[in-house]
Amino acid sequence: MADERVLREALLAAARGMSEAGLNVGTSGNASVRWQDGMLITPTGLKAEDCDPGDMVFVDASGQAHGERAPSSEWPMHLGVYADRADAGAILHAHPPFATALACHRLEIPPFHYMIARFGGSTVRCARYATFGTAALSAAVREAMHDRSACLLANHGMLVSGRDAAHALDMAIELETLCEQYWRALQLGDPVLLSQAEMDEVMDRFAGYGQPQENPS
């Protein structure tokens, strides 16, 4: 298991990276990394650029926060995804322009581009709407994330999981890029979609893609 200090620094770097990439503005969004029986998560109401690694909050598996800072209000959503996905080492939640625009129309992202397969299937689902920070939102996200590493949140934003904080940031940037591409394609009408067979072939090729111990997701 990685050193706690290293994880705290990586988590803060990813949170700042979301702001630098334009995925979040101000205090919006949140990020976490798996740690011990729970997670380290960004604090509520603080800009990432105003935080230091010590501000990251440990929340155990029961939902109990430890430390001086209060955790992000979205901690139930993060904890739920970790419970479901043993492969998730980090989770990022953001409100970027294009993903949020699609989420406000409650649209899933169909297989208009083969890179949709990077997120575990032929679509990126949109979780049903629920108030932020609630058990209902956590349940909706867990459903949408089944067999996936990303989803949109209706009238809200996006969520991605990754092997670690840096990988999750890459995934979040990739998802927002695909959302922008899909939005632009829609300006010309409905794009031509790849078939399930074509997406299955992509998934098979992704399984053996990259250097040893790596893959595109």
Burial call 113-149: b when 16+ CB within 10 Å, e when fewer: bbbbbbbbbbbbbbbbebeeeeeebbbbbbebbeebb
Tokens of 32: 């976490």
End-to-end CA distance of the chain, in Å? 21
113 residue type, one letter: H
Closest CA to 44 of 22, 62, 67: 67
Catalytic residue among 74, 176, 198, 214: 74
Clarify whether 174 is annotated catalytic: no
Q: Which residues carry out catalysis?
A: 74
